[in-house]
Structure 1
Amino acid sequence: MKVLLTGSTGYIGRRLKRKLLENKEITLRVYVRNKKTLSKDINKNFEIFEGDTFDKEKLKKALTGIDVAYYLIHSLSRDNYKDLDKISAQNFIDIAQQCGVKKVIYLGGLGVKNEQTSEHLLSRIQTGEILSSKKDIQTIWIRAGVIIGSGSTSFEIIRNLTEKLPIMTTPKWVNTKAQPIAVDDVLKYLEQSLYLKEKKNLIIDIGSEQLTYKQMMLLTAKVLKLKRIIIPLPFLSINLSSYWLNLFTPVQFKVAKALIEGLKSEVIIQNNNARKYFPGINPLSYEKAVKKAVKEIKMNQVISRWSDTDNSAKVWDKDHEKEIADAIYVDRKEKEILTVSKVQVYKSFISIGGKDGWFIFDSLWEVRGFIDKLLGGVGLNRGRKNQYSLNIGESLDFWKVVDIKENERLLLYAQMKVPGDAWLEFKIEDNKLIQSAYFYPKGLFGRIYWYSLVPIHYLVFNNMINSIIKKAEKL
C-alpha cells in the first residue's frame, strides 16, 4: 500500500510519521513545504516530495501512484485561513481524483453547524465536506475535539493556566462540554483507518468521557498536585479572554481568539462510528492522558509540539541566506575558542533559551517577551521542546530554527513583533565563535527601533558570547 502523508512536520503528522514508518505493510511518502524540517528524519524508509497544496503541479507529482492519502493540513496561524483552507482542500481532492487515489483520511474537529459555531470550527467542517465531495474517492473523516498530549495546543493552554494561576477568573465558556482524547488514541484511529473494509464515506467522531473545561482544569490540577479555584464570570468578552489566554499561555493572540470563539460550542461526539468500526480501541480517560503527557515532559520525551510549524509559510517562503546578506544592520561579535573544543561550544549555544534562559540579562529578554505578548505576539512562553537538542523548524522562545549544522552553525529567525526581519546566528569558523544579529528594517520606524536598542544590544550580545564560552568550558 502506497501512502502519502501531508502535514508531516506538524503536531499530529510528526507522530503519525513515526508510527507509519514502523508499519512494514506500507510504502510511505511525505509531502512537505521544506525538506530541511525533516533533516534528522531523512533515511531510505520513505520518499520526500517538496511543495504545498497551492502548487498543483507539485501536488500532482506527490499524489501520483498513491493508494491512500492523509490530509493533516490547516492554516490557522495565517490571517485568511478560512479561504486558504478551502482552496487547499479543493486542490487536494481534485488532484487526488485525477491520480486515482482510493482513500483520503482527514483529521478534523468535532462540532456542528449552528449560529454559535466559530469561524475556526466552520472552516474545519467545510474542509471535511470538500474532501468528501468525490464519489470515486472514499473519505474517512475523523473528528476529534480537545487533543491531550505533551506539546498539544489544548494541553499546553490548560497546563499553563493551571500551573500559573492559583485563582482563575474565567468566562462562562469553562462550563461548555467537550470530549477530550489522548493523542495516542488519535494516532490509533488514523493508522487503523488504512484497513477499514467499509467502502462508503465515513464520519467518525472520537473522544473519551464528557467533561467541562472547568473539570479538565481541576483534573489537571489534581494530577499536578495543585489546589486551584476557578470563578466563572459572565461578563468576560471574547477579546478580553483572548488577551488573558495570550498573556498566560504560549499561544499568540489571533490563535487564542480563534480557539476562544470555538469554546462557545460544545464539541461532543455525534455518532457511534468509533465504537462500531474500531471496537478494539478503548480511549484513555482524561486523567490518564494528562498523567502520560506530564511524564513525557518531565522525561524530556516530547516528540512534537504545537509550535513546530507555527507560521511556517512565512518562515519557509523566505530565502534566509539572501535576506541575511541584504541586512542593513549587523551586530557581530567574535571570540577565540582556544581552550575548548568546537563540540563544547556547539553544545553550549544550542542549549540557550527555554528553561536555561539567556544568561545574566535574562530579565531583559523576559521584559521583551512580555511586551511581545502585550502586542499579541508569541512571547517567550513557547520555550523549547528539548533543552539540549534542536531540529530545523522547531521553536526556541520567540525564535524559529531555520538552519542548523552540527558543530558548526545555528540560525534563528525572529517571530516576535518587530518592525522588520531579524535573525540571530551562531557560527564556529576556524578557531572562532562568531555571533551575529541581523536586522532588515521596515521603514523609518524599523530604523528608529534598531538604534534605540543599540545600548541594550551592546550589553546583551557581549554578555551572550562570553557566557556561551564560559558555559562551554564547564561541559
Structure 2
Amino acid sequence: MAATRILITGATGYIGGRLTPRLVDAGHDVRVVVRNPEKLRDVPWRDSVEIVRGDLADGASLAGVFDDIDIVYYLVHAMGGSGSFADVDRVSAQNVAASAGAAGVRRIVYLGGLHPPTGDLSTHLTSRLEVGRILLDGPVAAVVFQAGVVIGSGSASFEMVRHLTDRLPVMTTPKWVHNRIQPIAIRDVLHYLESAVDVDSAINRAFDIGGPDVMEYGEMMNVYADVAGLRQRRIVVLPVLTPRLAGHWVGLVTPIPRALAMPLIESLHNDAVMHEHDIDEVVARPARGLTSYRDAVRLALRAIEDGNVETEWSGVEATGDASSDSIPSDPDWAGGTVFVDSRSGPCAADTQTLWAVVESIGGANGWYSPAWRIRGLLDRAVGGVGMRRGRPDPIRLEAGGIVDFWHVEDIDRGHGLRLRADARLPGAAWLELRVSGSRDGTSRLHLRSAFFPRGLGGRVYWWLIRPFHVLVFRRMLAGLVAAAERRASA
C-alpha cells in the first residue's frame, strides 16, 4: 500500500484513537487535528504523527490544516441532551467540506449510523444523516460508512450492554428491546475505514456496514450474559418507559453519563440493520471473515480483563489483535469495575533473597498463611482444582506454569510475579508480588490482588470475602518477609 497523506479528525475519540496507529503502521503520513493537543500527551503514537490545533466548528482555525492532504477522516460527533449539538455537527461538516475542497483533498471518509430508509429518526441519527449528506454534496468525493452498534472494549454501545447485563439479573426496558440490531466488531469497522484509502476516487456514496448477526437488542444482552458466564437475564418490557426515563436509569446503574446514554437509547427506537451490501463490491471482507457478535464480545471482555492487570493496551495475546483493547483515549469507564487490595512492607533481607522466597511460593513451600489451604479446600468442594496441582519445580517458576490453583501469567525474574486464578470464582482474579530495593541494601515486598467481578454475584462475593482478604494478605506479607529475613541471617 503506497504512503498516503492523511488527516484525521477525532483522534482523541474512540474510533479515531484506534484508527490512527493502524494507519501509521501501514506506512501513511498522518496528521491529526485536535482542539486541545494535551489530550494526546499520553498516547503511545504521539511522536509518530503530526499534531495541529484546530476547531472544526471554527473555520478560521482550520487555515493550512488541510494543505498537502490526500484523504480526510471525519470521525467526530457532537453529543448532548439538547438540539444545539446538531448545529455544531452541521457547521463542522460544512467547514470540513469547504476546507478540503479548497486544499485539493481527493477523498473524505465518514463514519455515520445505520438507519431505516424511511420513518422518523432520533435527533442524533438525523444529525448523523445530515452530516453524511453535507459531505456527499460537497466538492470532495466522500465515502460514508453507516454502522450500527459497535462492539469493542470501551465503545459506548457495548459498555451499556455490558454494565446493564452485569448488574441487573432482571431488567425493565422500553419496547425497543425487541428492535432488530446488526452489531459490528470494532476491528471490522477499522478494517473498512483503513481500506477506504484504496477506494476508487470516483466513488461518492454511502455504504451500510455490519457484522454477520442480526438480533434483537434483548438477545444481545443475553448472548453477552452467556459469553460472560452469567445466567440468562429476564427482560420485562415497560411500554411507558420513555427515553428520558430510560436515560436516567442507565445513568444510575452504569458508569455511562446520562448525556451519552440518552442519544444511544433514542437511536434504538429504530431497527439498525443493513439494507444493502454493496460495500462487498468495493471493499473485500477481512481475510478472517466478519466477526460474529459472540466472538466480538469475547474479544472485548478479554481485552478489558487484561487491561485491568496492567497489561499493555497494544497486546491482546489471546487474539493477536490490539484493536479490541482499551487505550488511553478511551472513556475512563472503559475498563469497568475492578476491586483491588494493595499492601507492602519492609524486609531486612536484600532483594535477591526476598525474590528467592517469592519465586518459591506455593506447592510444598506453602503460602505463608493457613487460610490459603482453607480456600483451596473450598474450591475443591465446588468442583475446582484446589491446591492439588502443586508446582512442578520447588524453586523456579516459568510463564505459563502452574502453582496450585494459580497459573503464572507473567514473571519478571528478580522483580515481579503475576498469577491468575484458576479457581471457581464469580469473576477473574489476579495476585501480584513485587520486590523493590532500598539504598541501604534492604528490600520491600509489595502484594496486590485484583478481582474483576462477573455480574451482581461477583460484587457480592468480593464484599463478603473482603474481611478474609485483609487477614490473608496481612499474614502472607508478614510470613514472606520473615522467611526472607531468616534465610538472610542463616
TM-score normalised by the chain length of structure 1: 0.63
Q: Tell me, yes or no, if the aligned pair for 1:60 and 1:99 is still in contact at 8 Å.
A: no
1:20 to 16, 20, 23: 23
Residue 92 of structure 1 aligns with an amino acid whose one-letter code is V
2:123 to 119, 122, 141: 119
Aligned: 1:255 with 2:260: yes
Q: How many residues align?
A: 316
Q: Tell me, yes or no, if the aligned pair for 2:17 and 2:329 is still in contact at 8 Å.
A: no
Q: Tell me, yes or no, if the aligned pair for 1:238 and 1:257 is still in contact at 8 Å.
A: yes
Deviation of 1:178 after TM superposition, in Å, equals: 1.1
Structure 2 distance, partners of 1:118, 1:235, is 18
Residue 54 of structure 2 aligns with an amino acid whose one-letter code is G
Aligned: 1:303 with 2:327: yes
Name the counterpart of 1:32.
34
Q: Tell me, yes or no, if the aligned pair for 1:10 and 1:309 is still in contact at 8 Å.
A: no
1:139-158 aligned at under 5 Å gives the runs 139-158=142-161
Structure 2 distance, partners of 1:124, 1:27, is 28
Structure 2 distance, partners of 1:62, 1:100, is 12
- CA offsets per residue over residues 352-378 of structure 1, 9 Å max, x none? x9745899xxxxxxxxxxxxxxxxxxx
- CA offsets per residue over residues 404-435 of structure 1, 9 Å max, x none? xxxxxxxxxxxxxxxxxxxxxxxxxxxxxxxx
- CA offsets per residue over residues 162-220 of structure 1, 9 Å max, x none? 00001112111100011100001000100000001251202121111111101100000
Larger displacement relative to structure 2 (189-198 or 118-127): 189-198
Deviation of 1:257 after TM superposition, in Å, equals: 2.0
Name the counterpart of 1:264.
269
Residue 120 of structure 1 aligns with an amino acid whose one-letter code is H
Name the counterpart of 2:135.
131
1:90 to 90, 94, 117: 94
Larger Rg: 2
C-alpha spacing 1:84/1:17, structure 2 compared with 1 (3 Å): same
Q: Tell me, yes or no, if the aligned pair for 2:72 and 2:109 is still in contact at 8 Å.
A: yes
Structure 1 distance, partners of 2:339, 2:76, is 33
Q: Flag structure 1 segments of 5+ consecutive residues without an equivalent.
A: 311-352, 360-473
Name the counterpart of 1:273.
278
Residue 182 of structure 1 aligns with an amino acid whose one-letter code is A
Name the counterpart of 1:426.
none
Q: Tell me, yes or no, if the aligned pair for 2:154 and 2:333 is still in contact at 8 Å.
A: no
Name the counterpart of 2:78.
75
Structure 1 distance, partners of 2:143, 2:235, is 39
Structure 2 distance, partners of 1:308, 1:139, is 32
TM-score normalised by the chain length of structure 2: 0.61
Q: How big is the alpha-carbon RMSD for the aligned residues of Structure 1 and Structure 2?
A: 2.3
Deviation of 1:128 after TM superposition, in Å, equals: 0.3
Task: Give aligned-pair identity as a percent.
Answer: 37
Q: Tell me, yes or no, if the aligned pair for 2:32 and 2:49 is still in contact at 8 Å.
A: yes
Aligned: 1:109 with 2:113: yes
- CA offsets per residue over residues 52-99 of structure 1, 9 Å max, x none? 112323313110111100000111137411111001100110111111
1:154-303 aligned at under 5 Å gives the runs 154-197=157-200, 199-208=202-211, 209-227=213-231, 228-281=233-286, 282-300=289-307, 301=313, 302-303=326-327
C-alpha spacing 1:36/1:101, structure 2 compared with 1 (3 Å): same
SS at match of 1:66: coil
Residue 155 of structure 2 aligns with an amino acid whose one-letter code is S
Residue 33 of structure 2 aligns with an amino acid whose one-letter code is Y
Structure 2 distance, partners of 1:43, 1:179, is 34
C-alpha spacing 1:240/1:125, structure 2 compared with 1 (3 Å): same
C-alpha spacing 1:357/1:123, structure 2 compared with 1 (3 Å): farther
Deviation of 1:243 after TM superposition, in Å, equals: 1.5
Name the counterpart of 2:351.
none
Larger displacement relative to structure 2 (90-99 or 267-276): 267-276
Residue 143 of structure 2 aligns with an amino acid whose one-letter code is I
1:36-51 aligned at under 5 Å gives the runs 36-41=38-43, 44-51=47-54
